[in-house]
Amino acid sequence: MKYLEKLIKAVSTEGYDFATGSRIMPESDAKRPFKREFASRGYNSMVRLLLHSKLYDHQCGFKAFRRGPLFELLDEIENQHWFWDTELLVRAQYRGYRVLEFPVYWRHGGSSKVNFAKDIVGMGSEVFRLWWELFFPGLFSGKGKMFLTAFLALMILALAATFLGASEVLENIKQVSLGSLALASLVYCASWPLRGVRFQQILKRLGNHYGLGFLTGSIFISQSANVILPARIGDLSRMYILKKSKDLAFTTSFSSLTVERVFDIIAITFIAVLASSGVATRFELASWMESLIRFSGIAVLLFFVAIFTLSFRESRSKKEVRKETSANFSGEPLSKIKEFASTFIRQMSVIAVRPGAFLAVVASSLLIWGMDILTCFLVLKAFPTAGVDLSSAFTISLVFLAVALGNIAKTFPVTPGAIGTYEVALTAVFGLGGIRPELGFTVAVLDHIIKNSITLLGGGLALSELGFRWREVLSTNTDTLKGM
């Protein structure tokens, strides 16, 4: 507190708009636990690098503001939690306000509350969000995101087509059978009610009963958002719709979506394993293909080990946890976290651990992905010059393997809507099976165009039917969900 006079004078008489103490400047005298020091320096370095901040320490709890500049920035600040002061200081510098940072003497009191996994994801996403807003302001709106995604898609696909031979790709497109493409589109359209039925069954087992049309529409919207937004954060859109329309608890929507995603991976991995054995007589899988299959298999295994372990521990310590929580943490954030975790584990166990529910969701997931693969098979069939026997077990296995690996590759958030990664995976697998790379690429592109176009069209119709807007569902975040 000996620096209080310096802090106040900075904004009252020395002409600065914002002032903040710093525990990280070379002249600072600060001692903190290693974990907190390591996390703080890493975080602040990332802010300096990505957000072009000139400050060393953005979260020192020793700040002063001039009222006018502060109130001019408040409406721009979206985060209301740990990222608030970082966003304020970064925006202040971006707007040209004078910001003073000075070293302080600091000794940490109490144990560290740093949670690496949670904080890295939460703060990292906020840094990315602010970077996007500051340096691509016109692209952060709903329509802007669609424009950006379309631009990225065109760039990636144009580069790939140029590399493989644009003239050959165009020649392939001229020979395509429109009837087969139309049939492929119908098959993919038919898979959407199945997605709604699966999600309906998951929610029903969790004690929530909603209409098939509403649920299918919400899936259309969230999947449309996933086409537009990176890292599958479009799933938040479905949670937002369920909360606003049906007042579904955040925990339930989160656990139901987690179940859906996990069983998608289970179905795709199972298909990939079977298909890889079907093509083993002709070629060996590339190392990246084996790695993808192994990665998804290990992820599924770890998930179920975690669920079984946590469910067992939860059932044994339920009474003790409730007693301890009631006695010591009533109304505290830790109590809410424990309650959320307990509810999440219980709801996941209802689907993932019970054999009847497990088999039902696996069966529906296999059917959904089977129709997704059939769509791609019909697109391949639309090319009379494919040069492969489409009725052979090898070709069928090849298509199954290509689509399965393409969708496993989608789990890595490299591009919005997995544009590019999906096409590259399919082209590579088709190439190993004897399909010309330029033809395989053309099939992959048309397959993805059909699926994404139907998804976006259905999402637009569902938005109109359910009374939402693109801007509303595309800007959804976890703070919005918690505040509802």
106-115, 127-136, 225-234: which has the minimum mean pLDDT?
A: 106-115
Residue 144 clears pLDDT 60, i.e. is over it: no
Query: Number of folded domains in the chain?
Result: 2
Do 332 and 469 belong to one domain? Answer: yes
Do 151 and 213 belong to one domain? Answer: yes
pTM for the model stands at 0.63
**Burial class (CB within 10 angstroms; exposed 0-12, middle 13-18, buried 19+) of 392:** exposed
**Burial class (CB within 10 angstroms; exposed 0-12, middle 13-18, buried 19+) of 332:** exposed
Active-site residue, 85 included: yes
Do 329 and 405 belong to one domain? Answer: yes
Do 105 and 241 belong to one domain? Answer: no
Residue 261 clears pLDDT 50, i.e. is over it: yes
Map residue 103 onto helix, strand or coil: strand
43-47, 278-282, 467-471, 477-481: which has the minimum mean pLDDT?
A: 477-481
Do 48 and 194 belong to one domain? Answer: no
Q: How sure is the predictor about 320, in pLDDT bands with cuts at 50, 70 and 90?
A: low
Do 354 and 470 belong to one domain? Answer: yes
The alpha carbon of 99 is separated from its chain's Cα centroid by a whole number of angstroms, namely 35
Say what the pLDDT of residue 414 is: 58
Q: Which of 89, 105, 135 is the last residue in one of the domains?
A: 135
Q: Which of 117, 135, 153 is the last residue in one of the domains?
A: 135
Residue 204 clears pLDDT 60, i.e. is over it: yes
Do 120 and 212 belong to one domain? Answer: no
Do 190 and 322 belong to one domain? Answer: yes
Q: Which of 135, 160, 175 is the last residue in one of the domains?
A: 135
Residue 264 clears pLDDT 80, i.e. is over it: yes
Do 259 and 193 belong to one domain? Answer: yes
Residue 473 clears pLDDT 50, i.e. is over it: yes
188-192, 341-345, 356-360, 380-384: which has the minimum mean pLDDT?
A: 341-345
Do 59 and 42 belong to one domain? Answer: yes
Residues 76 and 303: their CA atoms lie apart, in Å, by 39
Do 147 and 131 belong to one domain? Answer: no
- Digit-coded pLDDT (tens) for 350-402: 776 677 888 888 899 999 999 999 999 999 988 877 667 777 888 899 999 99
Of 471 and 397, the one with more pLDDT: 397
| Domain membership of residue 38 as a residue range | 4-135
17, 29, 85, 372: the catalytic one is: 85
Supply the mean pLDDT for the chain.
81
**Residues contacting 205, CB < 8 A, separation 6+:** 350, 351, 357
Do 108 and 205 belong to one domain? Answer: no
